[in-house]
Amino acid sequence: MAEARQTEGRDTLTVAMIGSGGSGVMTAAEILIRAAARAGYYGLMTKSFGPQIRGGEAAAFVVLSTAPVEAPSDRVDLLFAIDWQNAGRFAGELPLDADSLVVSGQVDAELPSIVTDAAPRIAEVDLKSLTRSHKGTRPNMVALGVTAALAGLPRAAVATLIDERLAGKGEAAMQQGTAAIDLGYEEAAAMTGVDGLTAAGDDGERWIISGNQAAGFGALRGGVRFAAAYPITPATEILEWLAPRLQKAGGLLMQAEDELASINMIIGGSFGGAAVLTATSGPGLALMSESIGLAVAAEIPILVIDVMRGGPSTGIPTKSEQSDLNIAVHGLHGDAPHIVTAPMSIADCLFTAQWSTHLAESMQVPVIMLSDQSFGQALGVVEKPADVAFATRRLLAEEPAEDYLRYALTANGVSPMALPGTAGGQYTADGLEHSQSGLPSSMAADHNEQLEKRLHKVTAFDYGDHWARVEGGGDAAIVTWGSATGPVREALRRLDPGGERVRLIAIRLLSPAQPRQLAEALAGCERIMVVEQSQGAQFFGHLKAQFDLPAGADLFSRPGPQPFRPAEITAMLEEWLS
Amino acid sequence: MNPPKAAIADRAELLAYAYAMENEAAERYQDLADQMFACNNDDVAELFARLAAIEAKHAKELVEVHGASPAPMAPGAYRWDSLESPENLPFAEMHYLMVPHQALQLALAAERRALLFYRDIAEQTDSDDIRALASEFAAEEAEHVRIVEEWLERYPPADNGWDEDMDPPMSH
Amino acid sequence: MTVEAACPLTARDYKSDYKPVWCPGCGDFSVLLAITKALAEVGRPPEEVAVVSGIGCSSRVPAYTNCYGFHGVHGRALPLATGLKLTRPDLLVLAAGGDGDGYSIGGNHFMHACRRNVDLTYVVMDNQVYGMTKGQPSPTTSPEWDSALVPGGTGLRPFHPLVIALAAGANFVARSFSGDPNGTAELIVEAIRHPGFSLIEVLSPCVTFRPEEREWAKQVHPAPVEPTDDRGRAARRVLTDDGFNIGVLYRGRRRPYQPPFGQAQVEVAEFEAEFLP
């Protein structure tokens, strides 16, 4: 039986698999990354596809590495094309070059210009003949075998996964599955041109998780038990992950008739005492904004996860962009202090969702968490995330006194909340401005008092070190956020491996801004570069408005839909630093 | 909305009706007083507040003197001739600019309905006990009628254009 | 008849000290009374009742009660009430509002609340006008009604909430008149006790912008037929009646939607296993 060819080895390998018409590339790539994870590698899998619901052309990109993977790769080392139908769609996403190996699953196929222009090494596998002569084998599984073999993954790691996946389909299916893998390993034995991975280190437990799953799990850990939402790409996987698990955990997910309903359902659930969330994307967030303001005014804790996609309007649902920052921070009418957070990696989606729940519950305030498509729909093999225990507790009025006031002024601005069912705590939550009792009031004194209270509770809160990730030293700093962080970190690893020349400040708490903390983090910095993915430099504008940025801060900003790649950031930084 | 009179079975039931009527009237007058205070019609508001006090006293006496139970029957258990208990001024009759004379005319009508309510019971019942009690209550209502009539003397009727408001309604 | 055993709660116990801002003469005063009377008869203590509303004159009801209340944004009372009831099935949840709030801006939620059939009672005070914004036509306004915003009238067929409710799956449908607070209270009691989503459409005159609605008092009459459990029959009746039939029009037999909540079968930490490669 063929094994992976032993080669000199490489630390990182990027594989792309493309195909169309139900070719099964996504499944093959997912097995590939899972097998790699079992073998101890880190990884990142992203997807791209045509507009069809079924049968469209699809591409899966898998980065495998002996070290944590921060960003999509600059180039593709190995491309396996099950077919070449509409492969031109992926121009810009398939950075091939002369060192790449392209394996065509079709013999004598006419290669698209995205391949021929790069002049890579070419190999062929006659998937049609192979699968025809080996009854029950499938082209994508043979392709998986070839790819896994070239990547240097042990055959057993792949075969075991095939067995697990096909166990429900019976012995014959399992045998056919492994046979296909074997065919692939045999085909690969004859191929040259790409080095496999060096052996992975043994440095702890790995998780394989998507950003959307991580966000859902973080919220569950934070105590969320009720969710209401309307399906929207690329947030739906959060909901689909949560729905059955909330049930098991004693909670509930309600599919609402629209986003206006979702947000109000969770406000109702939270009013009753449940920790709650909804997940959406830009269009849904826009619809929800009026009611998020209600939750600000009525001091109802809620978590709204916005998995950002290209905008405006329907935009590009399946691609990422950091362009909802403005609406998240400024989209509520009136003076409406609330929290905006953003994870900075797939794994951090877990932490940030949990932390966001903690913040919402602790301050009785809406939290908007800005994830994005490049986290949400990507699958990462990461170090097992730490289980951070927040002492999350909503301040309740369990035995309200005779003179109980729902919106009483307190030192930290947070007032004990009476939950329905609590005798003597009855009040009416209201979007109308109100006095401390909750009764409507248009008096200046009440308005000022309550505005101040609601602002104070979010500005006086101790966010600790979680407001940002601060790394490195030196007199230059990069300030960034969200999914721009990974490519920036990768670029800095290349340019400044010791972390002595450039600091990285990735902001997790976008609002309320923490100017004092940022000033401390930037102390001694002479040059600042802001990196973000939006056309309008929304983050840069936010920083300039909220922080005392040194004059001459530089900006590197562009819209999606293509993710930042480390080489792009590296090139920019090289020039900036020189 | 069946006529209740013949159906009054015993003293306890008559007291239940009587208490409900007086208590609702007291609450209604108080609600109306609050409404009028809310739109700064203090003259009418104060009249309604005084009437509320009179009816509340009456209700209290029913409990303390006659042993009526202050426990209400279910809303559907009462069978009034009208949509509401006869002594209630209908909410629908209110106007924020109404003058005391108009308010008292409504009150007079209500007190007369109450009087008739008890008088009919007294006339129609076969029970001496119920007749005696109903007659006593009728006499009290007659006294209320007299008081209201007396008050009415003190106030002029509404002028033409009493409901004119040169300002438009407010929007919120 | 016999006088019932002492009941500790009266309508007054469900009323707050906060005074309504409605115009004297408004039907909503009576509806508020009917709601408090009904709650007293149902007998749940005020703290176990939540009254949820949107925006509009009638949506001011929650703070006028002594229950837990939520005066939310325009049109969204039903989803908010749904979220509350699903997570707190122990509470009695009542939604209240007007025709603009419920049938126009909240129209989609109205249909889906009927369809979802969560155990809620929805009291709509229909005065066929937007009162709080000074008299614009609502979905139930007749086509010829003239107003500053729509001079000459809308020319549009009025929305028929009861037929929509029946078609969408409401489990209890009744029509009431504000001038009959006792009758309205009885209907609310029955609606609360009936499982699932109950709609009570209360004809509640706006004396400021629709003074002619004072005439409703003369037009309403008890529904001449018994309630039915046949949606089709109920819909046919309300489509063809004069709009002033008062009473229970439909009693359905659908099971309310109430998935279990709060009964955990697993610890959250158990989900970690699925992230192992």
Nearest to B27 among C12, C25, C205 (CB): C12
- pLDDT for C209 beyond 50: yes
- For residue C205, list chain B residues with Cβ-Cβ distance below 8 A: 92
Residue C45 sits in a domain of what CATH number? Answer: 3.40.50.970
C49 vs C189: CA distance, rounded Å: 13
Q: List all residues of chain C from 166 to 185 with a beta carbon under 8 Å from chain B.
A: 178-183, 185
Residue B116's Cβ-count burial label (10 Å; 0-12, 13-18, 19+) is middle
- For residue C11, list chain B residues with Cβ-Cβ distance below 8 A: 27, 72
CB proximity list for B161: less than 8 A, separation 6 or greater: none
Count of domains for chain B: 1
- B33 or C6, higher pLDDT: B33
Average pLDDT value for chain A = 95
- pLDDT for C6 beyond 60: no
- pLDDT for A18 beyond 90: yes
pLDDT of the residue at A202 = 79
Q: Residue A92 — very low, low, confident or very high, per pLDDT cuts 50/70/90?
A: confident
Partner-chain contact C5 B90, CB within 8 Å: no
CATH class of this structure's domain A467-577? alpha beta
**B11–chain C Cβ distance below 8 A for any pair:** no
Partner-chain contact A228 C83, CB within 8 Å: yes
Identify which of A1-10, A45-54, C250-259 has the greatest average pLDDT. C250-259
Q: Looking at chain B, which subunits does it touch, using at least 3 CB pairs closer than 8 Å as the criterion?
A: C
- pLDDT for C4 beyond 50: no
pLDDT of the residue at A552 = 85
Residue A286 has which token pair?
A: 């826009």
Partner-chain contact C265 A250, CB within 8 Å: yes
- For residue C6, list chain B residues with Cβ-Cβ distance below 8 A: 69, 71
Q: In Å, how far is A164's CA from the nearest CA of chain C? A: 12
Q: Residue C2 — very low, low, confident or very high, per pLDDT cuts 50/70/90?
A: very low
Residue C12 has which token pair?
A: 């007054």
Average pLDDT value for chain B = 91
C8 vs C24: CA distance, rounded Å: 30
Count of residues in chain B: 172
Q: Residue B3 — very low, low, confident or very high, per pLDDT cuts 50/70/90?
A: very low
pLDDT of the residue at A185 = 97
Report the side by side order of strands in the sheet with A121-124.
A121-124, A101-104, A78-81, A12-19, A58-65, A42-49, A379-383, A206-210
Residue pair A553/A546 in contact (Cβ under 8 Å)? The answer is no
The per-residue pLDDT for range A288-306, each reduced to its tens digit, is: 999 999 999 999 999 999 9
A82 vs B167: CA distance, rounded Å: 78
Residue A340 has which token pair?
A: 């905006």
Domain boundaries, chain A: 12-189, 208-383, 395-461, 467-577
pLDDT of the residue at A8 = 67
Could you tell me the fold of the domain covering A12-189? Pyruvate-ferredoxin Oxidoreductase; domain 3 (3.40.920)
Does residue C248 lie in a domain region?
Answer: yes
Does residue C4 lie in a domain region?
Answer: no
**C7–chain B Cβ distance below 8 A for any pair:** yes
Instruction: Report, as an integer, the average pLDDT of C128-146.
Output: 96
Does residue C8 lie in a domain region?
Answer: no
- pLDDT for A152 beyond 80: yes
pLDDT of the residue at B2 = 39
Instruction: Report, as an integer, the average pLDDT of A494-498.
Output: 94
Count of domains for chain C: 1
- In this structure, the strands spanning C92-98 and C68-71 are unpaired
The per-residue pLDDT for range C40-73, each reduced to its tens digit, is: 999 999 999 999 999 999 999 999 999 999 999 9
The boundaries of the domain holding residue C162 are 13-275
Q: Residue C3 — very low, low, confident or very high, per pLDDT cuts 50/70/90?
A: very low
Does residue B166 lie in a domain region?
Answer: no
Distances (CA, A) of A264 to A295, A428, A527, C122: 9, 16, 45, 16
Residue pair A277/A295 in contact (Cβ under 8 Å)? The answer is no
Residue pair A59/A47 in contact (Cβ under 8 Å)? The answer is yes
Does residue C1 lie in a domain region?
Answer: no
Q: Buried b / exposed e across A530-560, counting CB within 10 Å, b at 16+?
A: bbbbbeebbbbbbbeebbebeeebebbbebb
- B168 or A122, higher pLDDT: A122
Residue pair A15/A78 in contact (Cβ under 8 Å)? The answer is yes
Q: Residue A556 — very low, low, confident or very high, per pLDDT cuts 50/70/90?
A: very high
- For residue B16, list chain C residues with Cβ-Cβ distance below 8 A: 3
- In this structure, the strands spanning C92-98 and A302-308 are unpaired
- For residue C100, list chain B residues with Cβ-Cβ distance below 8 A: none
Q: Residue B72 — very low, low, confident or very high, per pLDDT cuts 50/70/90?
A: low
- pLDDT for A19 beyond 50: yes
Q: In Å, how far is A388's CA from the nearest CA of chain C? A: 12
B71 vs A122: CA distance, rounded Å: 93
pLDDT of the residue at B1 = 37
The per-residue pLDDT for range A30-54, each reduced to its tens digit, is: 999 999 999 999 999 999 888 888 8
Nearest to C68 among A261, A270, A420 (CB): A420
Residue pair A305/A371 in contact (Cβ under 8 Å)? The answer is yes
Nearest to A221 among C51, C111, C268 (CB): C268
Residue C209's Cβ-count burial label (10 Å; 0-12, 13-18, 19+) is buried
Instruction: Report, as an integer, the average pLDDT of C205-224.
Output: 96
Partner-chain contact B34 C19, CB within 8 Å: yes
Report the side by side order of strands in the sheet with A468-471.
A468-471, A502-507, A476-480, A527-532, A554-557
Partner-chain contact A228 C266, CB within 8 Å: no
A250 vs A450: CA distance, rounded Å: 35
Residue pair A180/C249 in contact (Cβ under 8 Å)? The answer is no
Instruction: Report, as an integer, the average pLDDT of A244-257.
Output: 98
pLDDT of the residue at A1 = 58
**B6–chain C Cβ distance below 8 A for any pair:** no
Nearest chain C alpha carbon to A262:
C79
**C27–chain B Cβ distance below 8 A for any pair:** yes
Does residue B33 lie in a domain region?
Answer: yes
Could you tell me the fold of the domain covering A208-383? Rossmann fold (3.40.50)
Residue C114: which H helix or E strand, with range? helix C107-116
Does residue C2 lie in a domain region?
Answer: no
Q: Residue A6 — very low, low, confident or very high, per pLDDT cuts 50/70/90?
A: low
Q: For chain A, how far is it from start to end, CA to CA, in angstroms?
A: 53
Residue A145's Cβ-count burial label (10 Å; 0-12, 13-18, 19+) is buried
Residue C115: which H helix or E strand, with range? helix C107-116
Residue B95 sits in a domain of what CATH number? Answer: 1.20.1260.10
> Is A12-189's fold the same as A467-577's?
no
pLDDT of the residue at A419 = 98
Partner-chain contact C4 B94, CB within 8 Å: no
Angle between helices A139-151 and A155-166 (to 10 degrees): 150
The per-residue pLDDT for range A179-221, each reduced to its tens digit, is: 999 999 999 999 988 899 999 987 789 999 999 999 999 999 9
pLDDT of the residue at A7 = 56
- A1 or B111, higher pLDDT: B111
Q: Looking at chain A, which subunits does it touch, using at least 3 CB pairs closer than 8 Å as the criterion?
A: C
Residue pair A104/A124 in contact (Cβ under 8 Å)? The answer is yes
pLDDT of the residue at A193 = 81
B2 vs A166: CA distance, rounded Å: 75
The per-residue pLDDT for range A417-475, each reduced to its tens digit, is: 999 999 999 999 999 999 999 999 999 999 999 999 999 999 999 999 999 999 999 99
CB proximity list for B27: less than 8 A, separation 6 or greater: B52, C11, C12
A287 vs A257: CA distance, rounded Å: 13
Partner-chain contact A268 C108, CB within 8 Å: no
Does residue C3 lie in a domain region?
Answer: no
Q: List all residues of chain C from 211 to 230 with a beta carbon under 8 Å from chain B.
A: 214, 217
Partner-chain contact C178 B74, CB within 8 Å: no
